[in-house]
Amino acid sequence: FYIQVVRYPFYSKVASQQHVVSTEIMPKRGAIFDRNMRVLAINLNSDSVFANPYFVKDKRKAARSLAPILKESESYISQRLSKDKGFVWLKRKITPQQSEAIKALKLDGIEIVKESKRYYPNQSMACHVLGTVDIDNTGLEGLESYYNKYLKGEAGWIIGTQDAKRKVLESYQDQYIPSKNGLNLVLTIDEVIQHIAERELKKMYEKYHAKGASIMVMDPRNGDVLALANLPNYDLNDLSIRPADALRNRAINDFFEPGSVFKIVAASAALEEKAVDLADTFYCEYGEWHVGSRILHDHKPHGTLTFKEVIELSSNIGTAKVASRFGAEKMYEYMKAFGFYEKTGIDLPGEVAGMNRPVSKWSKVSMLAIPMGHEVTTTVAQLACAISAIANDGVMVRPRIVKEIVDDDGRVVKEFPVKTGRRVLSSDTAFKMRSLLMGVVQQGTGKKAKIEEYNVGGKTGTAQKIEPDGTYSHGKFVGSFIGFAPVEKPALAVVVCIDESRVVYYGGDVAAPVFRYVVDESLKYMNAKGTIVGQRL
């Protein structure tokens, strides 16, 4: 009577804990596809090994046998097998070879279970875009983190009865709640263009032993990011060998002084405000202009240049004199209009906006430095949006990297519409800027960006980096090129930045060739119509 009636609640609970078990059913994480439904990330079945220490008869022997297979220390395995638990992980997501070797041992209390493991078929491709997951398939970085709530799915449960050896008896399942698989991301990234961009960037990065490099390829008409890559990179399938300097997405996490590529802002402002005409002339002081206590230099000495030549030949002195015609307030206004005081809104974690001061905090010499890209900071993503505004008839576009979210049957669950931003320039000014930047490539500093079958426009940049003591370095530079093609109807806008290349560092030498090969192959892949080089707009 005492056991069955008085102590019934206690013994009933003990019995339930011994025989009733709830097993979590993990969902399949959603896949990630490129714009043409090529797989970029997917989940595959993988074996994991666990132990029930209560049933391991000879723990020392088991540890000695398992340690070399699992590539763990014998002391670690022994410590796991000594736990007073009925379930302990020994190692999760092991290789098929490891699994077969463990099964061959036929050790009591050692079991293999199927789990789901994230797999990236292209290894390092788009690693900073895709990001990583942890051992439980929870997103940690990149899109895996940003869209984790869509990708991860919902776990299910089986509540059933187990025997004395803790084996679930399928005929005694009391409740079954199925798991819900994660949803799939369809990106704007094009795997082919991504491959081209990464290949060409790597060539230049390795050739000149650069510290880092970034490239971003956008469709200027709608903001679709067709490729985004950084170096150094890493293998998404093997994070154990990932170097520390490969962790961040430089294109959105790093800001830097852009140098002469920023002259597109001063040039656009001058034309929009009708402060200059293309034929207006400026005396460029033969490369050395004394302004108070400041001396402004050009990389090559020039006498009198037209406004068109000032931009084509990238004269710092000429650009400063152009900017003096409209003043600091207008310069600040156009910097804001081009988006250099805000984040682009790209759907990737960790984007920064740079550190740019309001005009009230500019110094007396800021209008000498800012128009040529000093005393101002930007990111690769911001530059991509800025050059896209010129390519897109003066209208700013917001970058988009995810097109839609779909379920396993292909039904669209969520769409991400094109985000058209504000008008930055009039259509007429944008047209003049495209013509001006085409001249930079045809007869200016960007000749190494020239392509046989397409007219392209762009701007070179070479910026001195700032040393820890606040002075400009004489040995560390960021070489860049920003541009678009075809000029007549731009389908691509590209930004290339090479950080601290050795020996050769000018943007026209290290970044322009990368632009050339990426744009040439990408346009041919896209079947874009070409034009005769030099043909007038």
List the catalytic residues.
Answer: 260
Angle between the N-to-C axes of helices 316-323 and 263-272, in degrees from 0 to 180, rounded to the nearest 10: 40
- Copy the structure tokens of residue 274: 């009708």
Q: Alpha-carbon distance 138 to 351, whole Å?
A: 21
Strand partners, 228: 216
DSSP H helical segments within 290-370, as ranges? 307-312, 316-323, 327-337, 366-369
Residue 69 near residue 101, CB atoms below 8 Å: yes
Q: Alpha-carbon distance 251 to 482, whole Å?
A: 13
Strand partners, 227: 217
Q: Alpha-carbon distance 358 to 339, whole Å?
A: 14
Q: Alpha-carbon distance 113 to 155, whole Å?
A: 17
Q: Alpha-carbon distance 480 to 507, whole Å?
A: 4
Residue 458 near residue 391, CB atoms below 8 Å: no
CA 171 to chain centre: 50
Residue 110 CA: distances (Å) to CA of 104, 160, 360: 11, 22, 70
Residue 90 CB partners (closer than 8 Å, separation 6+): 49, 50, 51, 66, 70, 72, 77, 80, 110
Count of H-run helices and E-run strands, the chain: 18, 22
Residue 380 near residue 497, CB atoms below 8 Å: yes
Query: Which class for 241: exposed (0-12), middle (13-18), buried (19 or more C-beta within 10 A)?
Result: exposed
Element at 90 (helix H, strand E): strand 88-94
Q: Alpha-carbon distance 33 to 23, whole Å?
A: 31
Residue 212 near residue 248, CB atoms below 8 Å: no
Nearest to 264 by CA among 458, 92, 79, 74: 458
R_g of the chain computed on alpha carbons: 30
Q: Reduced to 3 states, what is the DSSP secondary structure of residue 269?
A: helix
Q: Reduced to 3 states, what is the DSSP secondary structure of residue 435?
A: helix
- Copy the structure tokens of residue 99: 């699994």
